Structure 1
Amino acid sequence: MSVALSRGLCRVLSRHTAPSSYLLGEHAVQSPWLAPVMTLKTSAPLRAEPKKKKKVDPRREQMIRERMKRKLKRLEKIPPELIPIEDQLIPAKCLDETRERSVPRLSFEESEGRALLLKKWSIYKQEQHMAEVQAVEDAIKAQREALKELKLESEQLYQAALKPDPLLFPFTHEGPAYTPPKTDYEAPDGKYTDITRVYTQ
């Protein structure tokens, strides 16, 4: 290969390659716009065919959707099954009408006496409540007046009086008393029959 041919080839390749140096034949040619020919690589040809999409029948899709809609409507018609609360259910043996006790009929004087007693009790409890409220208001009023006088006497004592007293409401608690074990006590074996019902939705 002649030098002129190699230079011509360099000019053609310089338009499509990155700046580098390359070697053609026996002559080393430096070019800022060419890359070595050996670095030019191409990927292997791929002759695989793309996967053919299966043709979906629109009628079949419509039938599947309608079937699902029918199932949903059928499920909506069925009311949800609620789990019963057995603690609030009255046993059938307690619903026997023969077990009902008849309410004793009170005389007119007895019913009037009970109503009058209830009114007197209500008036008594109201007076007791009003007396407690008045006592609390008097105590608060006296406390405010005492704090005003204390503030005039000493600011330090006034600030100390405003601090909460942790010993105002003392709390004492005693645990269980120590008792010796019973010699004739037979501990239960712990076996039991589980009769808890399990509900599934």
Structure 2
Amino acid sequence: MFRSLINAAKVARPESLSLVGAFRALHVSPVVMAEPMKKKKRLDPAIVRAREERKKKKLEKAIRKLEKHAKQLKPIEEMEVPYRLRTEIPMRTRKLPPMTAEELENRIETLKEWARHRGKVAIAEASWIEKMVQAQDKALQELRKESEELYQAAIQIDPELLPYRTKGCVESAPISNYEPADGYIHDVSRKWTS
């Protein structure tokens, strides 16, 4: 039908050429605004396999890196030494004169004597505690022979032994009609993601 209209317009008089102009705007198929399809290249299977292996190795490396960094703790800013102080370490170290052999021997002897003294004190305290525990056990056994009621009363925990007091709950009920103060809080703490 479309062809017959165009053929009719060719043989018609010049006044009927306006009919052909109207038919030029008529399209049967959609306009393709693209280049023709390119022919797909044939790739060597070995090259494709090598590319896949490279991708796989890259992913494994990234996973290993993430696992390695996951074990690292978040840095605490207060524990880090500022860079300025680290650069000033040589300037801040004191130049002490070397100790003489006699002074060094004197210090070593003093430390050894102190260690011996503390060892004797620790042994004496341990033996004293052991004697007290044995005396307490012996007294409790004698008390049990005399009276079971007195023994049960003696082994009860003394609440006055430790001065620990608790009183009620620590949170109070909300205040009715309380209006908080206006203001803007600027949070400067760092956000850490894992």
TM-score normalised to structure 2 length: 0.50
Larger radius of gyration: 1
**TM-score of the aligned structures, taking structure 1 as reference length:** 0.48
**More strand, by proportion:** 1
